[in-house]
Amino acid sequence: MTRHGFVFRLVCLSLVAVPAPALRAEEMPGDFVYLRDVDPTLQQDIRYAGPNNFTGAPVPGYDAPECVLVRQAAEALKAVQADLKAKGLGLRVYDCYRPVRAVAAFVDWAKGADDPELKAIYYPNIPKGALMPDYIATRSGHSRGATVDLTLVPLGKEITETQAVAACSAPQGNEAPDGSLPMGTTFDCFDTKANLGAPGVSAREEENRETLRAAMLAHGFKDYSPEWWHFTLGKEPYPDTYFDFPISPRK
């Protein structure tokens, strides 16, 4: 190979896109923010920081019940919140940035022994062995810092649920168990009823889903058809990077 050919080959190799690996830094990067510092009016019910989730225990990496996001996503949520206030509604977030170590803990949980009580609540119609990879994946967009799980609440409505006790797909009536608007299922329901456009969802629940979806899409988020609560910022700044810093108490 000639010298010029060798240089040309090096240049070509440098142009090949290589996905960035998980970053295991223990400190939050400077362009990540606490959501409450951007808009303290958004309610937070960070489920993985406590036992009220499908694993039944606090999840590794969630050292504080705080929503952390890249600033662009947090600012977009602030704009969504402002639009919803005119309708007497607000946002309640369940999960935001998710450390890689938390995703790994979910995978370990999925491979472990079943818990009949948790199954009856979070995946009543699906065997635990079937949760991977459709419901629990080895990588999550949440670890990129621009994905959020959330719902709608009437303005001023406080969180009323302390621990899930009924099946996530059970009829909700006038409100969900945590006081949020009825959406047909609760958050983290491993069931086809959580899909956008799923059968068995009432007209009112479908309307609530569409209100949430329209508000999020209006400010640059993309929906996710298997989960009505899941949205990702369309122009996320780290589309190929998965972070692993823990969610620490806000200073």
Active site residues: 227
What is the chain's length? 251
Q: Which amino acid is at 51?
A: P
Exposed/middle/buried for residue 225 (C-beta within 10 Å: 0-12, 13-18, 19+)? exposed
Pair type for strands 43-44 and 89-95: parallel
Asked if residue 242 lies in contact with residue 56, where contact means CB atoms within 8 angstroms, the answer is no
Cα angle at 114 between 196 and 150, to 5 degrees?
Answer: 30
Tokens 């009825």 -> residue: 182
Distance CA 49, CA 124 (A): 23
- 40-59 burial, b at 16+ Cβ within 10 Å, e below that, comes to eebbbbbbbbeebbbbeebb
Q: Cα(44)–Cα(184) distance, rounded to whole angstroms?
A: 21
68: tokens are 């952390």
Q: CA-to-CA distance for 131 and 136, rounded, in angstroms?
A: 6
